[in-house]
Structure 1
Amino acid sequence: MKKDVVIIVLLVLIMLFKLLDIVADFQLDIPAWHIAQEGVLVLLTVIATVYLSHDLMRRSRQVKILAQRLAKADKQIDNMTSQMRSARQEYSQAVSSQFATWGFTKSEQQVAFLLLKGLSFKEIAEVRQTKEKTVRQQASSIYSKADVDGRHTFCAWFMEDFIQEHNQDVATKAPANEAA
C-alpha cells in the first residue's frame, strides 16, 4: 500500500508541475496545440490519480474486512482447539474407565492405549522397552478381557458409538429407494 501512496503522491506532483508549466506557457505565448497537449496530460494524470486513490481506498476497506474475518476465525479456532482438548480428555477418561471395567493391569492399559493409537507390536515394544513377545501376550490378554477377537475389533469397540451415530445420520438423509 505504501507503494500505491507513493505513486499517487508522484502523480499529484506531476499534475501540479504540469499545471504550473501550462500557466507559464500562457504567459510566454506558446502555441495553443502545445498547451492543449499539456492539458490532456494533466487531465490523464487527474484521471489516473482519482482511479488509483479510489482503488487504494477500496483495497484498504477489503483488507480491514479480511483482518476482522481472520480475527474472528482465529477466535473460532481457539474455541475449537479448547473444545477438542476437552473432548480428547473426556474420551481418554472414558477409555480409561472402560479399561478399569475390563480389569486391565497398568501395563495392559499402556499397551491398550498404544494399540488404539495404531502402533505395531514392534513399535509398542520399543516405546515400552520390552520384548515384542511380551507385547503380543499382553495384547492377547487385553483382547480376552475385552471379549474381542483382535486388534481391529478392539479399536472398533471404541469407535462404534461414533460410527453408529454417523450411520444413523446417513440413513436419515438417504432417499427412500436407497434405504430399501
Structure 2
Amino acid sequence: MKDLVIIGLLALIICFKLFDISSDIQLGIPQWHIAQEAMLLVLTVIGAMYLSYDLIRRSREVKALAKRLEHADKKIDNMSTQMRSARQEYSQAVSQQFETWGFTKSEQQVAFLLLKGLSFKEIAEVRQTKEKTVRQQASTIYGKAAVDGRHTFCAWFMEDFIQEHNQDLAANEAA
C-alpha cells in the first residue's frame, strides 16, 4: 500500500513539475533554470517507473509464493493423512505380533509403552501400578518375544525398516 502512495505522490509531483516548467517557459525564465527543472522531472519519472516496475514484480512474486505455499500446505495435509494411515497400519501390525506372541492385554499395554520409550517408572505411573510389577511384565514380554531386553525388543520392530533402508542404500551405491 505504501508503494502505491509513493507512486501516487511521484505522479502528482510530475504533474506539478510539468505545470511549473510550462509556466516558466511562458514567463520567459532563464533556460538554465528550465533545464534544471526538466532534469528533476526526468529523474522523478525514472524513479516512478522503477518503483512501479518493482511493485508489479513484487506483487507477482507474492502471488507465486502464495500459490507455492498453498501447494505445500496441501502436500503436508496429504502427508499427514498418509502418516496417520501408516501409523495406524503399523500399530495394527504391532498388535497382531503381540497377539502372535500371546501377550495378555496388560502385557500389550506395557509393551506399547516400552516401544514408545517410557521408563519402567513412567509406565508404572501411567498404569497406576508398582514399578516392580512393570519390570516383571517386561521380563515376561521379553521371554515371550524371545529377546534379551528392551533394546532388542524395540529393535525387533525396526529391523525390517532398517533392512529395507540398508538394501536401498546398497542398491543406490551399486548404481
- Same topology, TM > 0.5: yes
Separation in 2 of the partners of 1:64 and 1:35? Answer: 43
Q: SS of the counterpart of 1:15? A: helix
Distance 1:93 1:128 in 2: 21
Aligned partners of 1:30 and 1:49: how far apart in 2?
Answer: 27
Map 1:73-112 → 2, pairs under 5 A: 73-112=72-111
SS at match of 2:153: helix
Aligned partner letter, 2:55: L
Partner residue, 1:30: 29
- Aligned-residue offset at 1:171: 1.6
Q: CA deviation at 1:174?
A: 2.6
- In structure 1, the partner of 2:5 is 6
Which residue matches 2:130? 131
Whole-Å separation in 1 of the counterparts to 2:47 and 2:170: 60
Q: Secondary structure at the match of 1:174?
A: helix
**CA shift at 1:170, angstroms?**
1.4
Percent identical residues? 78
SS in 2 for 1:130: coil
Q: Which residue of 2 aligns with 1:49?
A: 48
Give, in whole Å, the separation in 2 of the partners of 1:173 and 1:88: 27
The count of aligned residue pairs is: 175
- TM-score of the superposition, structure 2-length normalised? 0.97
Q: C-alpha separation between the residues in 1 aligned to 2:136 and 2:41?
A: 89
Using the size of structure 1 for normalisation, the TM-score is 0.94
Whole-angstrom CA distance in 2 between matches of 1:3 and 1:39:
27
Aligned: 1:155 with 2:154: yes
Equivalence for 2:166: 167
Q: Distance in 2 between matches of 1:62 and 1:150?
A: 56
Query: SS in structure 1 opposite 2:75?
Result: helix
Q: Which whole-Å CA distance do the structure 1 matches of 2:173 and 2:58 have between them?
A: 45
Specify the alignment match of 2:57 in structure 1: 58
Deviation of the 1:175 alpha carbon: 5.1
Aligned to 1:21: 20
CA–CA distance in 2 between the matches of 1:89 and 1:175? Answer: 34
* Structure 2 match to 1:142: 141
Tell me how far 1:173 sits from its aligned partner.
2.2
Q: CA RMSD in A?
A: 1.1
Distance (whole Å) between structure 1 residues aligned to residue 92 and residue 174 of structure 2: 38
